[in-house]
Amino acid sequence: MRKYEESLPLKLLKAREATMSFFRPVLQDIALTEQQWRIIRALAQHQELESKQLADLCCILSPSLTGIINRLEQQGYIQRRRSPEDQRRVLITLTEKASDMFERVTPLLEDRYREITEQFSQESLDQLSQLLNKLSQIKPGKSECQS
């Protein structure tokens, strides 16, 4: 077995924590959790989504998403409506309050991205992004090699 320090999940977790240390202070200032911000960011880009789409895009399990959506709705950041085409579908959108907050906070987060880029380089970030995308596509299973 490989050394504990060489564990891929551990390295990914440490990299996530290092990265999030740039963004957490901004999110704490606006009293949002990381998961809440991911939902707001996804809705800002996609305008309107169903819960399942949000869960997939934001990497949040559906049972957890329900509570997060409820809290965001109570805070006045999102609204839900039934689809006119199919009343079984519930569509989620940002409120004007959330859109205004998103516009105000985005430049602060972009400043944090610039700080990361200064320390890590754009080339390294691009390479890392490509590798992470590739890693995200792998599936567990048997090796293709035969004995």
What does the domain layout of the chain look like in residue ranges? 18-107
CATH number of 18-107: 1.10.10.10
Cα 65 to Cα 55: distance, rounded to the nearest angstrom = 7
pLDDT tens-digit series, residues 100-117: 999 999 999 999 999 999
Region class of 86: left (phi > 0), else alpha (psi between -120 and 50), else beta:
beta
What is the pLDDT at residue 84?
Answer: 82
As averages over each run of 10 residues, the pLDDT of the chain (147 residues) reads 87 95 96 95 95 92 92 96 84 96 96 96 96 92 56
Structural contact between residues 91 and 81, judged by C-beta atoms closer than 8 angstroms: yes
What is the pLDDT at residue 39?
Answer: 96
Other Cβ atoms closer than 10 A to 48 = 12
Q: What angle do CA 32, 34, 40 make, to 5 degrees?
A: 70
